[in-house]
Amino acid sequence: MDVLPLLSPEVIAELREELRRDWFITENDEYRLELEYIWSPPNSLHPKHKMLELDSIQNPQKRGHKIPYIDTWKEYLFYNKATVFYWTQSATNMVGHSGPVILGGIWNAWFDALGREPQIQLDEFFAVPVSVKEEYAKTVPGILRAHEHICAQVRKTVEENNRANGLIKLCKPWPDPRYFKLYSICEALVVVFDEYKSVAAEKHADGFRHYEDVAQNQSIILARTGHENGLSAPISFESLKDKALPLARSENMGTIDVIRIPLQVGVHFVANLLLREEAAFPESVVAGPHISREAEHPFMKWEKAAQDYGEERLAHAQAQGKIEPFTTVAAVKKAVLHHRVDIYPLENYAPYPFKLGWI
């Protein structure tokens, strides 16, 4: 028996919108968990931690020489990232289980600087974190040399995907190269996180500890790689000079342009660089209206998936006899929603997933 038409069009429209929102909240939850794993340094006691690790492979051209390398199946993590966050062993030894706490502070600073909602459909973010053991790169110049090899590795895959025109690669769907790219800024600038300062964050009046309490006590090193041909203008640290901290590194930097600054200041600096590049090359912005309405764009795919989810939930509830003629809106919501708005206030999810902090 077709029951839904017996509900008013206004009620049906409201239910579909709530179900759409319900689907997005679920996806946000899953994305948050995935990010927490990716931003948790490797730990043998926690096998779910998935931070990329810098490795090396034998150079077939030079016996005894090795080439920096990352897992081929995780190259996609570099797509649509503004930079690379090289997490050194010295920081890993100090940070313990606080990786997601660092992530939370970065997340809030990043989207505050960009002034827009998270575009998780594009996996767009400040950086991809890479764990660096001292045996592979102990110094900042060493990290820059490794970065050059890694970018070449990722760029080669991007070019292969472009030639394949988005076809299945090695029996696995690969991110569509029209919407997932290696940004020029990602090749031109790196972040080195080489020390972690432990902070006894106290709970605030809202009952939460805030990520910013930890983030504002951390520092990062920004280093230019010298590969800036793809940018609209050279990168300059001049605006950061009054915020610079002691470099606190013993190695010879040579001619490398490098600066240590507070973490959140660095996040804002990188965000402003990204906005500068988007303004200079608007045709390349994968979230732009001229691109984001394409049928295969992740935005459109997510909208369709959300709509399909809503129709499936309504049909399932109806088949189970949970929606009958003249059922109240509240009863229907209880039957079809995973996230009840009265239980999970929407303001807790915007900007999601790191608004409040942790208990």
pLDDT in tens, 9-19: 787 888 888 88
pLDDT on residue 111:
84
The β-bridge partners of 125 are: 81
- Kindly tell me if the per-residue pLDDT of 2 is higher than 60: no
Residue 268 banded pLDDT, cuts 50, 70, 90: very high
Q: Say which residue the tokens 């909208």 belong to.
A: 303
pLDDT on residue 344:
64
Highest average pLDDT, of 38-52, 64-78, 131-145, comes from 131-145
61 vs 45: CA distance, rounded Å: 38
pLDDT in tens, 299-309: 999 999 999 99
Residue 335 banded pLDDT, cuts 50, 70, 90: confident
C-beta of residue 197 within 8 angstroms of C-beta of residue 344 = no
Question: In the chain, pLDDT over 70 holds for what percent of residues?
Answer: 83
Residue 62 banded pLDDT, cuts 50, 70, 90: low
pLDDT on residue 238:
97
pTM for this model (two decimals): 0.88
Mean pLDDT for the chain overall: 84
